[in-house]
Amino acid sequence: MSKRSSLLPNGYDDFLQNLKEQIRTAQVRASLAVNFELILLYWQIGKAILERQQREGWGAKVIEKLSKDLQHEFPQMKGFSRSNLTYMRAFAEVYEDEAIIQRSVGQLPWRHNIALLEKLKSLDMRLWYGEKAIENGWSRDILVYQIESKLFERQGGAITNFERTLPKPQSDFAQQLIKDPYVRRESRPFRVRGHPLQRLLLSVLT
């Protein structure tokens, strides 16, 4: 037994292990909370863009200008590229009801959601794979593999009454969420000059 170990009280190792687990779980909870707000913000931005396009005929040049203006105003934020704004629009078009965001896809990292948009056409299949990704702790690469290997068809997929569950801290999903560049950059409060960023952006777009 080392001198250091002999100086530690009984049960110290178990105590330390429990604290590590609590910290990891708290990291996942915090990342999920930030991620949800970010995904909801992206959906709302996409919805606002979609409505403007339908009402006023906004084209690609307006989206490009919007991208440059947002990146200039919020240089610390990742996600306002022209291609990402286009994904936001597609995201809002596919998921018309905000309740769907609340239900499942709001828990998925943005890159997972992009994969669902790119790889699948059916809403039911998008929701099914999204739920499976959360349930099984899939990374984005595993999600794409399962889609391309047609897991839905192989398992006779059916949409279930999905309940929110906390991904295991050790899962690929949780680790990818914690390290997600979109989430890490937005881990600071959504505030600019004392105003909530979400409200500020939407007031400009609507």
Closest CA to 86 of 53, 125, 112: 53
pLDDT of 156 reads 72
pLDDT tens track for 70-96? 999 998 888 999 999 999 999 999 999
Neighbours of 127 (CB within 10 A): 21
- Report CA-CA distances (Å) from 59 to 100, 113, 124, 165, 202: 27, 24, 30, 40, 19
pLDDT tens track for 151-194? 998 887 655 544 445 555 556 666 666 666 665 555 444 443 34
pLDDT tens track for 110-154? 999 999 999 999 999 999 999 999 888 899 999 999 999 999 988
Q: Identify the residue with better confidence: 193 or 10.
A: 10
Task: Check if the beta carbon of residue 106 is closer than 8 Å to that of residue 37.
Answer: no
Instruction: Provide, rounded to the nearest whole percent, the portion of the chain with pLDDT above 70.
Output: 73
pLDDT of 172 reads 63
pLDDT of 64 reads 93
pLDDT of 192 reads 39
Task: Check if the beta carbon of residue 103 is closer than 8 Å to that of residue 162.
Answer: yes
Q: How far apart are CA 178 and CA 27, in angstroms?
A: 7
pLDDT of 27 reads 83
pLDDT of 28 reads 79
